Amino acid sequence: IRLPSIFGEIILGVILGPGLGLIILSTPDGILTHSAAVIKLLGEIGIIFLLFSIGFEKIELERLAGSIKRSLPIAVFGTIFPFLGGFLAAIVFSSTIFHQSIINGALLIGLTMSITSIGVSLRALIDMRYLATAAGSTILISANGSNACGRSKFCVHYRHTLYPCLSYRKNGIECYCWCFFIWYLYIHDPKIQNRNNEL
């Protein structure tokens, strides 16, 4: 059917995982079973191998630099629409789940929906052989941008409520890294280099 293999892996994980309840991962008291520990370990090893295999792929920074302008609106709308969809869906359908604060629960769902998985996106692009194309570069930049925006909003909003260990310091380090990355792509853009040579 010409689909990336990771789609089948995700579907198989949903079928066999705890989402459909086919595998019992905990006792009624909330204690993890032995099979749950094994599945969790295999999942973490799988993520490590996924990211490790992606690291072998060659990514041209010049092509990424040329895709920043096209990727910006995609990243913005790719963050806003999933956030609004998750927020409104949580308000409408999950009002009985969040007993203490419906708004905080809806914000949690919206922020979770707005975060993009870079590993899944890259694996799909690699399997479809789109990573070296202009469309692949645009998808990669927009996925990174929406992921950074979603995680930053998550850290800022929930550092005092749900996850006290997440602080502005960690969020600031991530922002500095992104600024350096954008600056590096900017100075290596061929159009900018040609313009500087003309001046």
89/103 same-domain check: yes
108 and 164, same domain (yes or no): yes
State the pLDDT at residue 18. 65
Last residue of some domain: 10, 38, 56? 56
> In this structure, are 133 and 183 located in the same domain?
yes
Of 41, 56, 71, which marks where a domain is finished? 56
Let me know if 38 is exposed, middle or buried by CB neighbors in 10 A (0-12, 13-18, 19+): exposed
| pLDDT confidence bin for 167, thresholds 50/70/90 | very low
**Separation of alpha carbons 35 and 46, rounded Å:** 16
pLDDT, greater one: 114 or 64: 114
Q: Which residue type, as a one-letter code, is found at position 24? A: I
Which residue in the block uniquely carries the two structure tokens 């998808």?
A: 139
In a domain, 199, yes or no: no
Q: Is the pTM of this model over 0.85?
A: no
Domain match, 88 and 9 both: no
pLDDT for position 1: 63
Q: Summarize pLDDT for 64-77 with one digit per residue, the tens.
A: 666 777 777 877 78
* Average pLDDT taken over every residue of the chain: 70
Q: Is 31 helix (H, G, I), strand (E, B) or coil?
A: coil
Domain that residue 137 falls in: 61-194
Is 33 found in the same domain as 73?
Answer: no
Question: Taking residues 183-189, what's their average pLDDT?
Answer: 59
Evaluate whether residue 14 is within a structural domain: yes
Give the Cα-Cα-Cα angle 39, 146, 65 (nearest 5 degrees).
115
- Establish if 32 belongs to a structural domain: yes
67/61 Cα distance (integer angstroms): 10
101 and 147 housed in the same domain: yes
Query: Are 165 and 181 within one domain?
Result: yes
Residue 32's DSSP bridge partners are 26
Confidence at 164, pLDDT banded by 50, 70, 90: very low
Q: Residues 26-64: pLDDT tens digits? A: 665 556 666 667 777 877 888 788 777 777 777 776 666
Kindly provide the residue ranges of all beta strands, DSSP E only, lying in 95-199, ordered along the sequence: none
Are residue 69 and residue 148 in the same domain, yes or no?
yes
Tell me which of 112 and 31 has the higher pLDDT: 112
| Residue 84 confidence (pLDDT) above 50 | yes
Cβ contacts of 176 within 8 Å, gap of 6 or more: none
